[in-house]
């Protein structure tokens, strides 16, 4: 396939290598953010259905299952983020065969790892539920929910992996459409299964599981479209190439796995200090946090194909421009979410709880009062970690991810409650994001100040 043929597949106005920086950024970022918001809305509506039609205990059960789900997203992000960045670099070099080869290996590895993980979780499900901190009163709910979700988890893994490669192959709108289809299907099935059929928490699990098929098949259509330049092939490259993808995506693995571990620790702390109501309140806060986080993830993930293709083309100046544009967008979103949380906390909490759940509502309201500064900085931290990943610099990316999502929150959970009680629990994540932001700025400035920083190279571009 010729270089000109591949270039023709992308609208020249939005070509990451030659198009306008701002226009190209929004061309990639807006569909990605809308897709993430669609998924977020599906998760939030899950919480609304469960909280209002099943109860606070079921809401807590869903959050107790969250660390297991984080393991699957960690698998995808490790392989798909690292693999798609390498794929984007090859596409920037017009090496279609190498790009197709890394895509194929990434997809096979992701699905295989998803099947193995789901099988192991199902085999030891009862032990796993106890390890997650479920008390006897919520263990049956957690088990019923997880059994359905785990069976269909490999479908989700395959769809999410393809999402990254569809985006890097120049079709961010299709990638977003898959996420929107997932959200719409999930909402419709929640209405059917929970409201009309009264299936309870099992209905929520089936709604999520079946919605994954809509996501998968929409993305699968890309490989039958004329604009697709990637193919399933193992002709070029070695399986060892996949380790480069794993290493490059290691920070994303840390980020996602750490999220699951921090949720697990938070659940342990909240259930020991405030019971099931405390876990339910934390669940509401995480649903609200998803709004800002998923927008930030949409921005950061859209940044990766733009940077990786310019890395392959040897354009360090455009890479810096894309990074600054993404950071400005992420901070603006965080500011907006913070204002909404401060202005309308009671209204947001009431979406998830019936009038009889006042104890949970009071805890959630206090939690938000301490937690809102998180949104001012977490989007910027996520974007800067993604920036380093796209530059094939996994170490600083991993440092940022590990600091914000595991090390500092866990230190905060261990130390702060000793001095400030429950307020220390609520402040653990906001303070972690603050110190991570300072660290991230130092790493960016250190990278910019290196002697290689202004030098244009090819695949080893240094900024």
Domain-wise residue ranges, the chain: 20-454
Q: How confident is the model at residue 322 (pLDDT cuts 50, 70, 90)?
A: confident
Looking at residue 450, what is its pLDDT? Answer: 47
Looking at residue 459, what is its pLDDT? Answer: 39
Looking at residue 10, what is its pLDDT? Answer: 56
Looking at residue 27, what is its pLDDT? Answer: 81
Using alpha carbons, list the distances in angstroms from residue 263 to 70, 246, 268, 373, 379.
Answer: 10, 24, 9, 19, 18
The Cα–Cα gap between 438 and 53 comes to: 43
Report which listed range, 96-105, 143-152, 163-172, 312-321, is most confident.
143-152
Q: How confident is the model at residue 236 (pLDDT cuts 50, 70, 90)?
A: low
Q: Are 317 and 397 in contact (CB under 8 A)?
A: no
Using alpha carbons, list the distances in angstroms from residue 103 to 85, 96, 216, 229, 367.
Answer: 10, 11, 16, 11, 43
The Cα–Cα gap between 70 and 385 comes to: 18
* Average pLDDT for 267-287: 81
Q: How confident is the model at residue 385 (pLDDT cuts 50, 70, 90)?
A: confident
Looking at residue 235, what is its pLDDT? Answer: 65
The Cα–Cα gap between 157 and 216 comes to: 9
Q: Is the pLDDT of residue 428 over 70?
A: yes
* Average pLDDT for 431-460: 71
Looking at residue 438, what is its pLDDT? Answer: 95
Inter-helix orientation angle 21-53/201-220, to 10°: 160
Q: What is the largest CA-CA distance in the chain?
A: 65
Q: Is the pLDDT of residue 70 over 80?
A: no
Looking at residue 168, what is its pLDDT? Answer: 80
Report which listed range, 16-25, 213-222, 247-256, is most confident.
213-222
Range of lowest pLDDT (302-306, 331-335, 355-359)? 355-359
Looking at residue 122, what is its pLDDT? Answer: 94
Q: Are 161 and 78 in contact (CB under 8 A)?
A: no
Q: Is the pLDDT of residue 244 over 80?
A: no
Percent of the chain with pLDDT over 70: 89
Q: How confident is the model at residue 11 (pLDDT cuts 50, 70, 90)?
A: low
Q: Is the pLDDT of residue 65 over 80?
A: yes
Q: Is the pLDDT of residue 39 over 70?
A: no
Looking at residue 435, what is its pLDDT? Answer: 95
149-197 per-position pLDDT tens digit: 999 999 988 988 888 888 888 787 888 788 888 888 988 998 899 988 9
Percent of the chain with pLDDT over 90: 13
406-419 per-position pLDDT tens digit: 889 989 988 998 88
């Amino acid at each position: 396939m010729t270089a000109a043929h591949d270039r023709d597949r992308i609208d020249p106005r939005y070509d990451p290598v030659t198009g306008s920086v701002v226009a190209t950024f929004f061309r990639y970022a807006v569909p990605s953010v809308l897709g993430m918001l669609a998924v977020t809305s599906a998760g939030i509506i899950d919480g609304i259905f469960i909280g209002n039609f099943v109860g606070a205990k079921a809401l807590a059960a869903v959050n107790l299952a969250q660390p297991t789900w984080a393991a699957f997203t960690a698998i995808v992000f490790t392989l798909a983020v690292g693999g798609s960045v390498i794929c984007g670099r090859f596409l920037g070099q017009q090496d279609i065969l190498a790009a197709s080869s890394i895509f194929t290996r990434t997809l096979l590895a992701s699905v295989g790892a998803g099947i193995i993980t789901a099988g192991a979780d199902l085999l030891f499900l009862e032990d796993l539920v106890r390890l997650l901190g479920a008390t006897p009163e919520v263990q049956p709910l957690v088990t019923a929910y997880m059994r359905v979700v785990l069976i269909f988890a490999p479908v989700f893994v395959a769809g999410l992996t393809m999402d990254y490669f569809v985006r890097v192959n120049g079709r961010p709108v299709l990638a977003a459409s898959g996420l929107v289809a997932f959200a719409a299907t999930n909402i419709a099935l929640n209405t059917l299964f929970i409201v009309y059929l009264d299936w309870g928490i099992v209905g929520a699990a089936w709604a999520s599981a079946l919605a994954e098929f809509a996501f998968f098949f929409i993305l699968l259509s890309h490989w039958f479209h004329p604009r697709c330049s990637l193919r399933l092939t193992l002709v070029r490259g070695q399986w060892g190439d996949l380790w480069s993808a794993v290493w490059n995506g290691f920070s994303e693995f840390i980020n996602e796995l750490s999220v699951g571990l921090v949720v697990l620790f938070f659940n342990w702390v909240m259930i020991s200090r405030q019971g099931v109501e405390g876990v339910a309140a934390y669940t509401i806060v995480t649903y609200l946090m998803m709004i800002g986080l998923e927008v930030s993830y949409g921005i950061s993930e859209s940044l990766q194909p733009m940077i990786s293709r310019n890395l392959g083309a040897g354009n360090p100046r455009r890479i810096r421009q894309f990074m600054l544009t993404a950071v400005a967008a992420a901070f603006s979103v965080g500011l907006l979410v913070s204002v909404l949380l401060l202005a309308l906390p009671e209204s947001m909490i009431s979406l998830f709880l019936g009038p009889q759940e006042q104890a949970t509502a009071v805890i959630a309201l206090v939690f938000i009062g301490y937690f809102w500064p998180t949104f001012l900085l977490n989007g910027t931290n996520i974007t800067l970690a993604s920036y380093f990943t796209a530059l094939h610099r996994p170490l600083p990316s991993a440092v940022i991810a590990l600091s914000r999502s595991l090390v500092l929150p866990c230190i905060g959970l261990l130390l702060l409650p000793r001095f400030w009680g429950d307020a220390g629990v609520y402040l653990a994540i906001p303070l972690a994001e603050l110190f991570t932001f300072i660290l991230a700025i130092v790493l960016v400035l250190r990278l910019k100040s290196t002697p290689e920083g202004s030098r244009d190279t090819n695949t080893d571009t240094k900024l």
